[in-house]
Structure 1
Amino acid sequence: MPFDAAGLPAGVYPKAAVVTSPFYDWRSGFYFGINGGGGFARKCWELVTDAFADLPGSEGCHNPSGDTLGGQVGYRWRSANWVFGVEGQGNWANFSGSNISLLFAPDSNRTRVDAFGLITGQIGYAWNNILLYVKGGAAVTRDSYHAVSGATGLVLASASETRWGGTVGAGLEFGFAPNWSLGVEYNHLFTGTRNVNFTDPTGAFFQTETINQGVDLALARLNYRFGEWGAPVTGRY
């Protein structure tokens, strides 16, 4: 039987190697991670009453903005290409801003969002190592307020509150190793309208303001994932 230069029988050729695409396993399990990014709020103040019997009215609006850093922990489970999850998230924030009062110019109104938290459910669809999801649930913010003298720069009155509401959002996550994923996420927080009581530096009543708020967040996220019941993930990716 004649042989070719490769030592194979003439007319017989080696089979081409079968190349398989990598597969990321979004298996059920716990995960935790960190996140960071930025956000802004929308704050409008309206005077209800004050210690000086001034007439009520709108004081104007401003958009506190800034940076945020925090963490998240959650659990996901998969059914075919669908991925479901629950998650808790807590963040420090520094969203600050101000405007000149429309009623008491040149005095100004200042707002800072100091922190926020989210408790959400998720539903997503996975294509290999790409996960697209939507989320929704409860939100809470910690806010502080200051009425500032335009003449001296001193704080005339201040207040703080913890405000509960709801949130909706969406995200895109990319699995780059068996246990690791990177993602980006957007959330909008609906925290409604509240009456907030201000006190002066002595603790005496100063004014009541009706303040509404909405918050928008853009975050980058890094997650480390365990297998079901905390076992490390060992599948291919």
Structure 2
Amino acid sequence: MANKLLTGAVMTLALAAGSALAADFPSHKAPPAYIPPPPTWTGFHVGLNAGGAWSASTTTNFVSTPFLINGAGNVPWAAAAAIAGSGGVSTNAASFIGGGQIGYDWQFSGGLLAGVEADIQGVAAGNNNTALTTLAPTPLTAQGLNLLTSVTSSKALDYLGTVRGRLGYLITPTLLAYATGGLAYGGATSTTSFFQTVPNDLPGFLLLGASQGRYAQTRVGWTVGGGLEWMFWPQWSAKIEYLFYDLGSAAYPVAVTADWQLSDLLAANATQARTRFDGHIVRAGGNYHFNWGDPPIVAKY
């Protein structure tokens, strides 16, 4: 009996000593998982973009108007030449557009973001020369006389730039949806060639107009659009964007058509072309963000 009591006492002391030693060892609990701070959008960004552009207004119109008529008998001829010398030609072509942008964003609480961005792109226009040839009646159509009119026209943008505001919402900390709009400017060019005659006119008579008009100028207008931008890596983002731009309309002189009888000028018409420089842009791009906003919050262990 005494041996059993002694054995029990020894075991109790051993367990108590083991518990005391275990309490003295340091804890080995795993540290909390590291959660990276959300990216900050506040700061400057620079990047590149590329995409496609195409015209919204796809017609260049031309109008002939009499400005000199020598006698009532020449009114029908001047009117017939003016009608035949008026119409429209399609001047639509898709273009490649590419360039760069720079901007600054402010990120607010609640996922709101505001910013400004400026960009400029070169435009590699496709060949959009379009020709139109018509044969129209004259006052002497019964005698086989008709007006032959041929018009060739093209238009293009040499470059396009914008200065825009951006207002967006962070759907997630790394995905931004935004609307944008502001000023647009670009180098606009339009060329129209005009030819008009009566191929088999009566002896001693000549109706002829042959010339080319060209318009080239930097124009200023407006733009509006929207897009999505994804911060796929710290300080790096990719975006896709749509813009509509409108640089307004332009008119320019093209040709003068004169109707002669030997050395006498019977009538004269002036032809003018008019077109609009507006269109759509769809482009993709990438930005590098300098992230000069609030410093990220680092978790403490």
TM-score normalised by structure 2 residue count: 0.61
Query: Match of 2:45?
Result: 31
Once residues 224 and 198 of structure 1 are traced to their aligned partners in structure 2, the CA distance between those partners, rounded to angstroms, is 48
Q: Does the CA-based 8 Å contact 1:58-1:102 persist in structure 2?
A: no
Once residues 50 and 112 of structure 1 are traced to their aligned partners in structure 2, the CA distance between those partners, rounded to angstroms, is 26
Question: Between Structure 1 and Structure 2, how many residues are aligned?
Answer: 217
Q: Does the CA-based 8 Å contact 2:190-2:214 persist in structure 1?
A: yes
1:207 Cα offset (Å): 4.7
Query: Match of 1:76?
Result: 105
Structure with higher helix content? 2
Q: 1:168 aligns with which of 197, 208, 224?
A: 224
Q: 1:101 aligns with which of 115, 132, 135?
A: 132
1:61 Cα offset (Å): 2.6
Taking the TM superposition and a 5 Å limit, the aligned residue runs for 1:53-202 are 54-55=81-82, 57-80=86-109, 81-96=111-126, 97-101=128-132, 106-126=150-170, 127-148=172-193, 156-198=212-254
Unaligned segments of structure 1, at least 5 residues? 8-12, 201-205
Q: Does the CA-based 8 Å contact 1:65-1:94 persist in structure 2?
A: no
Query: Match of 1:209?
Result: 273
Q: Does the CA-based 8 Å contact 2:40-2:107 persist in structure 1?
A: no
Once residues 133 and 180 of structure 2 are traced to their aligned partners in structure 1, the CA distance between those partners, rounded to angstroms, is 38
SS of the residue 1:101 aligns to: strand
| Bigger mean CA deviation after superposition, 131-140 or 172-181 | 172-181
Q: Does the CA-based 8 Å contact 1:170-1:187 persist in structure 2?
A: yes
TM-score normalised by structure 1 residue count: 0.76
Change (3 A) 1:176 1:92: same
- Superposed CA offset, 1:94-134 (max 9, x none): 23423223667654211221111111111001121111100
RMSD: 3.5
Q: Which is greater in Rg?
A: 2
Once residues 50 and 34 of structure 1 are traced to their aligned partners in structure 2, the CA distance between those partners, rounded to angstroms, is 48
Query: Match of 2:4?
Result: none
Change (3 A) 1:114 1:50: farther
SS of the residue 1:26 aligns to: coil
1:157 Cα offset (Å): 3.8
**Counterpart AA for 2:246:** F
Query: Match of 1:203?
Result: none
1:198 Cα offset (Å): 4.7
1:84 Cα offset (Å): 0.3
Q: Does the CA-based 8 Å contact 1:98-1:109 persist in structure 2?
A: yes
Unaligned segments of structure 2, at least 5 residues? 1-14, 23-27, 68-77, 135-147, 196-210, 257-269
Q: 1:43 aligns with which of 50, 58, 81?
A: 58
Once residues 183 and 102 of structure 2 are traced to their aligned partners in structure 1, the CA distance between those partners, rounded to angstroms, is 15
SS of the residue 1:139 aligns to: strand
**Counterpart AA for 1:210:** R
1:210 Cα offset (Å): 1.5
Q: Does the CA-based 8 Å contact 2:184-2:221 persist in structure 1?
A: yes
4+ residue segments displaced more than 6 Å = 13-16, 50-53
Change (3 A) 1:182 1:87: same
1:19 Cα offset (Å): 6.7
Change (3 A) 1:176 1:157: same
Q: Does the CA-based 8 Å contact 1:117-1:141 persist in structure 2?
A: yes
**Counterpart AA for 1:101:** L
1:184 Cα offset (Å): 0.6
Q: Does the CA-based 8 Å contact 2:98-2:123 persist in structure 1?
A: yes
Change (3 A) 1:171 1:57: same
Once residues 235 and 19 of structure 1 are traced to their aligned partners in structure 2, the CA distance between those partners, rounded to angstroms, is 14
Q: Does the CA-based 8 Å contact 1:179-1:226 persist in structure 2?
A: yes
- Superposed CA offset, 1:35-61 (max 9, x none): 111111133222244899752632233
Q: Does the CA-based 8 Å contact 2:188-2:277 persist in structure 1?
A: no
SS of the residue 2:230 aligns to: strand
Query: Match of 1:223?
Result: 287
